Every structure is written in structure tokens, then in C-alpha cells.
Structure 1
Amino acid sequence: MTQIRLLVAVVTAAVVIAWPLTLSGAAARPTSATRLSAAQTARVDAAVGKIVSSSLVPGAQLAIERRGAVVYERAYGVADAARKKAVNLRTRFEIGSITKQVTAAAVLQLVEAHRLNLDDPLEKYVPQYKPGAAVTLRQLMWQTTGIPDYTALPRFMHSTINTPGSFERILALIADKPLDFAPGTRWAYSDTNYILLGRVIEAASKMSYNEYIREHIFRAAGMSRTGTIADEGAMRDMATGYSSRNGRQGPTARFSDPWAWSAGNIVSTAADVLKWDDALFRGKLLSLQSVALMTTPGTLSDGTPTSYAMGWVVDTQDGHKRIWHNGGTVGFGSSNMLYPDDGLRIVALINDASIPPETLTARVFEALNPGLAAATDHAVAYEDPAVTPRAKDIMRGLRRVIYTRPL
């Protein structure tokens, strides 16, 4: 089995500067030192092909960057079964909660511009939400607020099907509910935290959230095939999302952009997600100091680390440091995994949420390191009992997003 253990140590700026850079500001061309061997390529093809063919995933995109060069891009299966349209490298997928990374970066851009302070109370920007008045922006980023998750409420799915979304409607779902715990005392994944950050971005920038990320993230990073759910009607090469129940698969109903918004509304390609990673870690979007802060796990009030940073999870896979986030909407799954010590970034997008999307990226890492995977295929009795519960908590929270609700 793959061993996943969360890091207790605080991540430092070394996470940022460990990535190889090129002077051009764009991904380098593969060289003999970076390109995959024929054997590695065959193992990756086999690993992904096996998962796609043995599950109900209709189609997938996979992209790998190694030491600054894109060394692998593949498309698998179908984007639209009814039209018999295959996935290609230009096919777009909803990427769900990977959006949270973009939202976190937007907040930090506004901090750098002195328009926000991470220790500002939420009431400064969203005064109408009384239960969360004293919550800080930092706690929202770290998911330590106690604010209820609107997507976990029974009324949520009914609302998404029957009414157009809006920030006010999301707020109405939680307005009469107390906090689940005192801010800073626990960690709990809540999409509401990042919805609230979207409104904070609007208040500080005087732009709509979608306009802000289009101008300050997508355009700045060269993400020419990236937009939001609101753009899907005008997008060519948009994949159809599917869901499976009782062994039967069918296209899913889509919900309006505001129901996902700053917690999960981005539409992209695997190649563009790599462009996002590249721009972020090269310091094109933020100072490297801010990127280090963004990828440093948060802490509770008593100093306990949580292993969730600002839109990123920080843990290890088979002893290798990993910085990542997955995502899911109704009919789509995504995974953006970075292995800084190995110089690897792996992005997988699928158009069915029937499997955890990080399964693909983790298996690809194993395919690139077959000796490592074989050597660690044993029980994990030595795992640190103080760390393992946090790992399981993180994974439960993120996988619940895929299986029971969007984002």
C-alpha cells in the first residue's frame, strides 16, 4: 500500500526555491536529464490506462513536469459519450477545489498590495455574517474557523438544483447556524471559508472575483484555456461531466457558477494547471516569501500544526514531500500534486467523480519510482500516532468533497 504520512515540521521557503528555474520564464524543453525514459513512459501509460479502463471514468487528461520541463501530456477516453467525442489536450474540465489555491493567491496578492491584512477580522469585509465576525482571514485560509460547510447541509443540493446561486443565498444557508467550534481550536474542511474569501477579494479589489482572477491570475500566468463555470456555455472543447450509480453512468446536471464560486468554479486543462504551478513557484504571481507562507501548514491556537496550508495540503508519499490539493464538482475530479524534492509536478483531470482523483497522480508517481513503491508495500505499524489521525482527517475531508458533494 502507499503510505501517506503528514509532515509535522513547518515547511520553509526551501519548498519554493527547490523548483528548478529557467531564465526564459517558461517551462524548459525536455533534455536527456529531464525527459522520461521509454520504460517510465510505458509504466505511466499502463498505470493510467488501467485505472481508466477498470473504473467508470470516461475520460482523463494527464500532464507531468519534471525539473522545469513538461515531459508528458496525454489524453484518454471520451469527453462526450453521446457525441463520441474523444478527450484531447485542449479539452477543458472543471477543477473544483484546486480553485482554492487561486483564491489563496489572490488574497496574498492583496496583502502584498497593502489592501488586506491576514489578521483582519471577517466582519471588516462581511459585516452581515455575525457568527463569524471575529474569525480572521488567516483562519479562513487555514480552514480553522468552525464556520459550517454550506455544501454539507441537506438544503444545499436542493438549492443548487432549484435556484440560481449567489453569495447571499450561500450565506443564508448558514446564517442561523452557530460555529462548529471556537475559531483556531480545530481544523475542519469547509468550502464556506473560501466562499467568504471570495467576497473579501471583491471588497478589497473593487472587482468581481471572476474578473480579478482572470486579470491577475489567468492572464498573468498565461493560462489561455482557463475560465470559470460561468464561461462554459461559450467554451469549445468543454468535457461533459458524468456520475455513476449502481453501475450505470450518465451525464450530470450542472449548477450555476455562484454555487461553486471562489471555492471551486475554475475550468481548465492539465497543461494550464501546470502553468499555474509554474507561475506561482517562479514568483510571477507572488513574492517567494508569500509563496512560502502559502505552502506552510497552519497551526491551531495552541501551536498544533494542521498540515493544511493556504489552499495546499502538505504531506509525504512514501517518504517524499508532497504539496497538493484535489478537487471535485458534480461530474468532475482533479488532482494537482507537487513533489518538490523530486522536481515533479503531476496534474490529472477526469470527467467522473467515481474515484478519488489523487489515485491517478499518486499511481503515476509510483510508476515513475517502481522500486520505491515495491519497497514500501508493507504494513505501516511504525506510523506516528500523533500524525496519522491528521492525515486521515485531511483525506476524509477532501474525499468527502468528491463523493458526497461538489467542490
Structure 2
Amino acid sequence: MIQRTALWFGAWLGLLTSPALFASTPHASPHFDRSSDTVAVSIPARADWRTDVGAYAQRLVDAGFFPGTQIAVTRGDKVVYAASFGMADSRSGRKVDNRTRFYIASTTKALTATAVMREVARGAMRLDAPITDYLHGLRFKPPLRADTVTIRSLLSMTDGFGACMPVVFRTAFSGVFTQAQLMRLMRDCGRSKAGHAFVYRNFPYNLLGMALAPGVNHGWKAVVRADVLKPLGMRETTARVSTLPTEQVAMPHEADGHGFRRIRLAKADANLHAAGGYFTTARDLAKFVAVNAADGRLGGRRIFPVGMIASMHVEHARQDRDFGPYHRFGWGYGWDLGTYAGHTLVHRFGAFAGYRSHVSFMPDTGVGVVVLTNGVGVPHAADEMADYIYDRLGAPRKQARAEHDAQFRLLQQRKAKFDRALRAHQRVQRSRDAHPLPHPLRAYAGRYVNPLLGTMRWTESGDHLDVSIGEARSKAGIYDAARNALRVELTGGGEVVHFHFADHARFANSLTYHGYRFDRVKPSATR
């Protein structure tokens, strides 16, 4: 959900995570391991641009821009570089290697869109078919009609729906749902204030995932694997994190104003969804980039029908906004269309607590880049790494070095400002925590239920409260003690929960979260 300029500190405090000042030795592989890669591309051990790319990546890690990273580069239909740098887990000191998996969040949308287009190419789905052809009995809040929503409008995010918070919360955060339950929840999904103009959201791709496998909870995972991952030999990519040993996962980290600290891995099988569902490696994801840059070919083999992939990079909806160094002018199917340094950049990024992914390619040069990180010390550091690669390959070496020395200094300045904002936020939170709540902690503890979002559990834990709703969990801090308001991070960013007490009541009878009222379940009702 996992979507900002470098100075928007408030949005990044909770949603994007950051680095520590750990230096490490780069783990670059001069050749791919043929036992684990379908496309084995020989990478010369001594090549100036590769040496420079590795040196710049190490420089960013050493500067504390992110704790660990993987990088891959493609040219045409081949993967030509893959390397790893920094820490996968700051607690254990485990380093990132080329097999370490990173969560890629909303980059997943490009994979889901490809599976849909593969089904369209087979004739199993039709772009202009209503979604009700695949999800029978689907209804939305009047006057919206499900039978007017097409597969095409969902791919292009011009479907006309609002955010549909209950569906998005359950699929991306709590993980508590069945497909039938989601269908019922959609009866409360209303129209977008923007009408049928493009609005970036998770919901359309959640719906597409359901359409890929009607009636099967998480069934889209099998379809994407069969249609996309298996044909590309992407054996290091999974939507089931439970299958990965802990030592193969890049653990998420969060900036704390002094470096970074490891945070809880908030993703499990249940909340890996069709709009943000994969753990992968840069070298595996680079195969997907290469097949996109080459319109369906990979390593000399045709994987997808001619024109299928290229049709996803056409402007299907208009945008007009900046994202860091890029201007986004359009949306394809699962991809943003933008510009960088006079080139069109087809890209799809992802961000979630503790992770950031940059996946992009330039159609006119055939060059593609993957940058994966497990924390963010300054917004857009991952994009700076990608930009350096594009400029190093496309400009004289001295020119690229001079330009990015200046960008590096600018990022250092922004990081210093970002760190100051984080430390100020921490001081504010400590001040708030120093004011006791009007009631003892047990007065807030208990189960609270909302029919749309589910059951929220509040428990005492020493001198504070912990909250959980399915896989979404957080320690609670004080936001406004006098108003019984607590601060939580159930979705990766700061959120306020207000507890409500009847006159002279010993226990809270309800709470409000994101505008939704949760009623407390009396203890006697749980026995």
C-alpha cells in the first residue's frame, strides 16, 4: 500500500524505513549460479561500469542511506549484473547475499497485471468483460453497478471506486478474510470522488486477484506462479513467506534518527495480496524486467506472445505528478510511465514498513534496473542508486561521477534533515508518554469488534498496551492522554485510536479507528 517527495517527513516516518551506519563488504557474483538461474549470463569480473556501480552502492550503504541492498541490471533480454551489499539483519550481523529475499510490496502489481494479460492472450479472460463474468453475485454500493466495471478499467485504475478500506485493510494488513467475506464487504464500497479518472490504489488489483481464481482464497498466487514466475524461471520469488528460512530473508529496518533498528516483519502468508504480495531477489526480479524490456523474450527465448507485454506499457490512463526525480505522465497495465533525463522510464516501485523496491527500464535503451532495500534512511536513495546506473551506462564516466557526487551531497543534507525530524518526533512521543492515561491500562484492554474491519485485541504488556488485529500488530503509545487517545502503527504509519467511556464507567465501551467504531466485547461474553 505500499505511495512523496524527499521532504514529506510525516508520511515517511512510519511507512518507509531506514538505514544504519553499517559498512559491509559487497557480495558481487561474477557469474550466476547455474543451479539456481534459468538465464545464466556471464558477467566479466573486470568491467569499469560494474566496478563503479558496486562502489557507488557501497558508498550509499556506508553513508547510512539503507542498511542492505541488492542490485541487478539488464540489457535487452539478458541479466548482466547482480550484486549485494550491507546488512540483512542488524541484530545478528548477517549480510545480504544474492539469495537473500526482499519484500517488494506494490511492485507486485506488475506481476499480477502480467498474469491477467496472459489469461487474456489465452482467451480465458476478456479485457472488456465485466468483472461479474468472473465474480458472480458481486455487488457494490448503489449507484455503482458491478456489471459496468471491466477488467480493462481495473487494470488501468479507472474503475471509479473509492479506496474500499475494509477490503484493503483485511488483504494488506490483518490478513483475516475469505473471498466470500470480501465479496460481502464490497457492498459497502462506494464511488471515487475523482470519478473515472486514474487514482492509484490497491483495491482494483485486489479485485483482479480474485478474478484470476474465483472462489479460491489466495488462489491468484497459483495463477501468477503458473503464468509468470514458472515460465521465467523465477524460482527465488514467492508469495508464501512461510516457505523461506529466516536466514534467507532481509529483515525490515526503521530509521531512528541515529542509524537504523530492526523492526517486526509484518508480512505473513495471510496478508500477502495481489497488489503487494512477493518476496524475491534482485537477480530473479531482473528476469521479469528483461522480459518486459524485450517484449516477451528472455535470454533469446520467446516467453510471452508478441505484443502482449508491449501493450502493458502503453498509456492507458493519464497521470501528471512528480515522484522524486521522475515525472509520471501515465499508467499502463501494472506500470507507471514517467520520464528521467529525457528518456521514458517504465517503472513500478513498492514501499512498506522496512522495505523499498525500485524496478524500471528504459524502452529506448533496453536497459533495466532493480534496486531492493530493507530500510530507508532518506527518501529516494534507492532511486538515486538506479539513476546512477542509468547515467553511468549512458554518459561519460567523469560526467556521471560529477553529477552524482552532487546528488550524493544533496542526499546527505536531506538525510540530516530527515534524522532531525525523526529525533524531534521521538522527543514529542516521549513527552506524550510521560502523561498518564485517565484510567488504568486494564480499563482499555479487551476485545473490540467492527463488522467491517474485524476484531481488535488490546492487551496489557508491562507499562503499556499492545494491539493486534490479525497479522497487524503494534505497541501503543500515548497521543493525547486527556482524550484517551493512543498512537499505533497497524499499517506501518502513525494512526490515532480514541477510546470512549460512558459516564463513571470503569472500562471503555468502544473505540474509534480510521473513522470506524469498534464496540467492546464484555468479558462475560468471551467465556
TM-score by length of 1: 0.74
Deviation of 1:265 (Å)? 0.6
Q: What is residue 313 of structure 2 aligned with on the other side?
A: 295
Shift of 1:56: 4.9
Aligned match of 1:362: 387
Change (3 A) 1:291 1:71: closer
- Name the counterpart of 1:13: none
Deviation digits for residues 300-331 of structure 1 (CA, Å, limit 9, x no counterpart): 6xxxx961101112222111222111112322
Name the CA shift for 1:229/1:350 in 2 (closer, same or farther; >3 Å): farther
- CA deviation after TM superposition for structure 1 residue 215, in Å: 2.1
Specify which of 207, 210, 213 is matched with residue 202 of structure 1. Answer: 213
The answer to whether the aligner puts 1:121 opposite 2:114 as a matched pair is no
2:355 aligns with one of 329, 332, 352 = 332
Of the three residues 266, 287, 290, the one matched with 1:254 is 266
Please give the per-residue CA displacement for 1:264-323, whole angstroms capped at 9, x wherever unaligned: 1111101101122334533444312211211111146xxxx9611011122221112221
Where 2:58 maps in the other structure, the secondary structure is helix
Contact 1:123 1:132 in 2 (8 A): no
Distance of 1:253 and 1:206 partners within structure 2:
22
1:51 counterpart (60, 64, 69): 60
Question: How far, CA to CA, are the matches of 1:49 and 1:335 in structure 2?
Answer: 17
For 1:164, give the aligned amino acid.
V
Determine the C-alpha separation between the residues in 1 that align with 2:39 and 2:195.
Answer: 41
Change in CA separation of 1:167 and 1:326 when aligned onto 2, cut-off 3 Å: farther
Task: Specify which of 74, 80, 99 is matched with residue 71 of structure 1.
Answer: 80
Q: Whose Rg is larger?
A: 2
Contact 2:138-2:183 at 8 Å conserved across structures: no
Give structure 2 stretches of 5+ with no counterpart. 1-37, 319-327, 407-490, 495-527
Deviating more after overlay: 103-112 vs 325-334: 325-334
Contact 1:108/1:290 (CA < 8 Å) preserved in 2? Answer: yes
TM-superposed CA distance for 1:137, in Å, is 1.0
Would the aligned equivalents of 1:96 and 1:329 in 2 still touch at CA under 8 Å?
yes
Match of 2:365 among 342, 345, 359: 342
Amino acid paired to 1:358: D
2:149 is aligned with 1:135? yes
- What residue is the counterpart of 2:284 in the other structure? 272
Displacement of 1:244 in angstroms is: 2.4
3-state DSSP of counterpart to 2:248: coil
Distance 1:162 1:68 in 2: 38
CA–CA separation in structure 2 for the residues paired with 1:223 and 1:113:
21
Percentage of identical aligned residues:
23
Deviation at 1:249, TM superposition (A): 2.3
Counterpart-to-counterpart distance in 2, 1:43 and 1:376: 12
Alignment check: 8 A CA contact 2:129 2:151 kept: yes
What secondary structure sits across from 2:330 in the alignment? coil
Preserved CA contact (<8 Å) 2:78 2:287 = no
Report the AA paired with residue 298 of structure 1.
H
The answer to whether the Cα contact below 8 Å between 1:225 and 1:268 also exists between their aligned partners in 2 is yes
Matched, 1:309 2:323: no
Matched position secondary structure for 1:264: coil
> Residues 28-177 of structure 1: matches in 2 within 5 Å?
28-29=41-42, 37-38=47-48, 40-126=49-135, 127-130=137-140, 131=144, 133=146, 134-150=148-164, 153=165, 164-167=176-179, 175-177=187-189
* 2:237 is the counterpart of 1:226: yes
**Which of the residues 314, 317, 320 maps onto 2:343?**
320
Higher strand proportion, which one?
2
TM-aligned CA deviation for residue 37 of structure 1: 3.8
SS of the residue 1:196 aligns to: helix
Q: Which amino acid aligns with 1:287?
A: P
Report how many aligned residue pairs link the two structures: 347
Per-residue deviation, 1:256? 3.2
Q: How much does 1:132 deviate? A: 5.7
CA contact (8 A) 1:30 1:69 kept: no
Distance 1:183 1:265 in 2: 28
Q: Which has the higher helix share?
A: 1
Match of 1:90, SS state, is coil
Higher relative contact order (CA 8 A, sep 6+): 1
- Give the equivalent residue in structure 2 for 1:244: 255
